[in-house]
Structure 1
Amino acid sequence: MECQSHLFELPESHHYINCSFLSPLLKSVEQAGINGILSKRYPWEVTPHHFFDDSNTLRALFAKLVNAKQDDIAIMPAVSYGLATAAKNIDLAKGHEIIIAGEQFPSNVYVWKRFCEQHDCTLKIVDPPNGFDQRGQQWNTRIAEAITEDTLVVALGNVHWADGTLFDLQQIGELARNHEAYLIIDGTQSVGALPFDVQQVQPDALICAGYKWLMGPYAMTLAYFGPRLQNGVPLEEGWITRKNSEDFSGLVDYEDQYQPGAQRFDMGERSNFVLVPMMIEALKQIIEWKPKEIQRYCKTLTSDLVKTLPNYGYQIEDADWRGHHMFGIRLPENLSIAKLQDKLDEREIHVSVRGSAVRIAPNVYNNDKDIAALLDTLQTIADN
């Protein structure tokens, strides 16, 4: 794959290596949003099928991306909404402990804190080892060893949002299933740039915000729900999620049954005529690029950076236990994060500081000049 910057409107003077914060808009996604806004000029042109067709297209595209069925996919406004949906439909008889990773993203923590308070469960937080030697591997081992007969839920990201540590979801998922525990995955920081196959991982839920690695708009989230949750109760009772809702003339013939599969969990007004077309265009492009190729591009792009920085006292997780699209760089002990941030700002290099790591998150719009600027800055400040 070659650099895809021509498909974006990004000024050459800025080095945006921060897709894990917010992706830039593809030109095609931007245009889809504009067209969606303009479509409301003439509301008489909106017909019943518009409430269903694009939603089903979006569902099918995300299903293709994660190797699911169209009916397994729900359309939601945020990851917190999807996690709350999953938490509402868990069988409490399966156990009393919720396992999460240390310093996990708040949306995938607060929901389980509330759950534990309401249902007299225990929140078991598995922190990483203090040292850096084989850190990712040891952290995975700790999580695996924490799963017991009393485990009710294992709730993780595919990669840790702060530093890109990769969690072995196939092994963890198998252990969870052996104990009849639920596996709930926040895929926001991986799906779109890292291959994910629900048939291999077999999560009970996979929930992904659209505005990062899926390159879609804000306030659009896509979720896969597995067989154990698909007969659950939604957070809200929308008209469009009920059987026969396509027949507008019969909407007052109230229907007890839902639309098939995970559609029952869709948010109200899911047919958003601006955001849905934008998300469709974004997923079309992601599928054309292929997450495997995106991952390979990012690995090649950052290879010199990863090879060189340890010589200056920086620490980077072993490649087997992190993503190539997103990873943390831990600074030498004598280097101030505030001082580094000033230097990055001077050169218009955009990265994020999360916890104890500087988070590097390239994508296909980045090129060698972006990485060279970052490497030069990190080398210079380490020497001084």
Structure 2
Amino acid sequence: MINSLSLRSNYKTLKKFTYLNQASLGLVSEKTATSMIEFLNEIAKHGNAHMSDQDEVNFFQTLRNTCCRLFNCNSRNLAILSSASELLNQLPYLLDLKKGSKVVLVKSDFPALFRPWQAFSEKNKLKTHFVDENLNVDLTSSIIEIIDNETVAVVVSYIQYATGSRIDLQRLQKITKKLNIPFVIDVTQAAGAIPLDISKIECDAMVCSGYKWLGGHGGVAIAYLSDNLINKTPLMPGWMGAKNPFNINNDKLDLAFGAKRYTQSTMSYISLKSLNVSIKEILNLGIHNIASHSENLKKYLLSSLNKDKFKTLNGNEKLLSSHIISISNNEMDSTKITKILFDNGIICSLRNGFIRISLAHYNDQTDIDKLLSVLNKL
């Protein structure tokens, strides 16, 4: 019997639903939700009666310190943002792009990664080169095959949101480093689910939303920026990115030291509070423990799934992540199956025509058994 890693009582949704959808909108724990309510009632609703200017600045630093523990990075390189897109849209203009003709992206990747480059290419002599994700070929190899001297940047997700395919960051960074190509990584579908040590990854920027595997509420994201980028002027500098945000003057552009300069303005402090609490919950569980737990659930699921009826999106299971699995039925439309699952209280996502199953620390074997009981009867 595979028990949950975290307390299921900390997630009230599980009383009614079998939730296999953390990759979409992640469940927020009772502990995290309580911290948000307490913040609203005790501080936020009272305005500056209970919150000083310095308190506002400190909210960012508290979260920054916690995130540095998660990613093993220096706080000077950690930016707090309102969304991952806030930084992704600036990167085409901030990265040191050498002369070349193409930026390498993945066709099935999340739009937040490729739309900024599509917009950038409309006014610049640059093509967006999309790599197709072949179901039976290592995606990393496919990306490396088309990187050449004409490549000006490589922008990819560590874990593909729709398929669960995993990029080999070490292999990819060797190529980008050798050719001096900027490397941008989105770890939204990895952070909080599998180990990430940014000190071992040479990239220019790494972004992550806070409302999925990190267990926070919407409205806050985090980013790692290279030493080169933290010394640049943001394309969209905001007032909160100053050295002393509340010491306002117009004499000069007085930007904060390091990645702090990329924080634009007042944010949802409730979301900052929630993310700080939820990341600490994850750290207490242990990232390696979480990854091992999802791997055990994945093995159980795939060993019990009717292979005559269902196939995994990637035929080579070694190329899949442990916490995101996409499947399809040989005879029945995935949209119909997703609805049948929902009608049975099982929450999954429909992505690119496949059923995406997310395996989180609060899931246990009974969740998989309920899923299998419906799927194997179809």
* Paired amino acid for 2:213: W
Contact 1:88 1:233 in 2 (8 A): no
Q: In the alignment, what sits opposite 1:144?
A: 144
Q: In terms of mean alpha carbon deviation, does 39-48 or 293-302 score higher?
A: 39-48
Distance between the aligned counterparts of 2:250 and 2:270, measured in 1? 30
Equivalent runs, 1:49-198 vs 2, <5 Å: 49-129=54-134, 132=135, 135-137=136-138, 139-198=139-198
Is 1:311–2:293 an aligned residue pair?
A: no
Is there any run of 5+ residues in structure 1 with no aligned partner, and where? Answer: none
Cα offsets for 1:33-62 (capped at 9, x unmatched): 112222133332211220222211111111
* Paired amino acid for 1:48: D
Q: In the alignment, what sits opposite 1:286?
A: 282
> Given the superposition, is the C-alpha separation of residues 214 and 107 from structure 1 closer, same or farther in structure 2, using an over 3 Å criterion?
same
Distance between the aligned counterparts of 2:32 and 2:373, measured in 1? 33
Is 1:357–2:354 an aligned residue pair?
A: yes
CA RMSD of aligned residues (A): 1.8
* Paired amino acid for 1:363: A
Secondary structure class of the residue paired with 1:156: strand
TM-score normalised over the length of structure 1:
0.92
* Paired amino acid for 1:49: Q
Distance between the aligned counterparts of 1:78 and 1:244, measured in 2? 23
Q: In the alignment, what sits opposite 1:243?
A: 243
Q: In the alignment, what sits opposite 1:41?
A: 45
Distance between the aligned counterparts of 2:109 and 2:36, measured in 1? 32
* Paired amino acid for 1:238: G
Is 1:12–2:8 an aligned residue pair?
A: no
How far apart are residue 3 of structure 1 and its match? 4.1
How far apart are residue 305 of structure 1 and its match? 1.3
How far apart are residue 358 of structure 1 and its match? 1.0
Distance between the aligned counterparts of 2:292 and 2:137, measured in 1? 20
How far apart are residue 84 of structure 1 and its match? 1.2
Q: In the alignment, what sits opposite 1:331?
A: 329
Distance between the aligned counterparts of 1:376 and 1:176, measured in 2? 46
* Paired amino acid for 1:44: A
> Given the superposition, is the C-alpha separation of residues 289 and 136 from structure 1 closer, same or farther in structure 2, using an over 3 Å criterion?
farther
Is there any run of 5+ residues in structure 2 with no aligned partner, and where? Answer: none
Cα offsets for 1:168-217 (capped at 9, x unmatched): 11111110111111111111111110111112221111110000011101
Identity %: 23
How far apart are residue 341 of structure 1 and its match? 2.4
Q: In terms of mean alpha carbon deviation, does 86-95 or 175-184 score higher?
A: 86-95
Contact 1:173 1:183 in 2 (8 A): yes
Paired residues, number: 371
How far apart are residue 375 of structure 1 and its match? 0.9
